[in-house]
Amino acid sequence: MKPAICPVCGTSAIQSKGDHVEFSDYEPLPSDYIGHPHGYEWFCADHLEAAKSMSNLPAENVIKALRDKFSENTNQPQTNSPVKAGAISRIIKAVTGR
């Protein structure tokens, strides 16, 4: 099983009321298997409708398209991701007011 984490923004099912979407490449697992079926992804409430509207496509294509579309406003947990120097001072200013 995969944790219910939105592949677009990294929001988890604990933080947002989302749902699973079956995509064109959905392959149900045989009944005697335990795991995560291919083409079956969970999306947060913010990205669920957009994902559903593209459920006629393979999951991987939809995730890529949505990441591109929503990349401006992502809180996806990424370690070692580069941050623009100016962004840090803006965050500090927003938090401290200085």
In whole angstroms, what is the distance from residue 5 CA to residue 25 CA? 19
Q: Which is nearer to Zn ion, 36 or 93 (CB)?
A: 36
Q: Which is nearer to Zn ion, 9 or 21 (CB)?
A: 9
Residue 5: which residues within 8 A CB-CB, separation 6 or more? 11, 12, 13, 42
Q: Show the site string, 44-73: x = touches Zn ion by CB under 5 A, - = not.
A: x-xx--------------------------
Length of the chain: 98
Q: Which is nearer to Zn ion, 15 or 37 (CB)?
A: 15
The verdict on 5 binding Zn ion (CB under 5 A) reads: no
Q: Which is nearer to Zn ion, 45 or 88 (CB)?
A: 45
Q: How far is the CB of 62 from Zn ion (least distance, A)?
A: 12
Residue 46: which residues within 8 A CB-CB, separation 6 or more? 6, 9, 11, 16
The verdict on 6 binding Zn ion (CB under 5 A) reads: yes
- Among residues 55, 53, 21, 65, the alpha carbon closest in space to that of 40 is found at 21
Q: Which residues bind Zn ion (CB under 5 A)?
A: 6, 8-9, 11, 44, 46-47
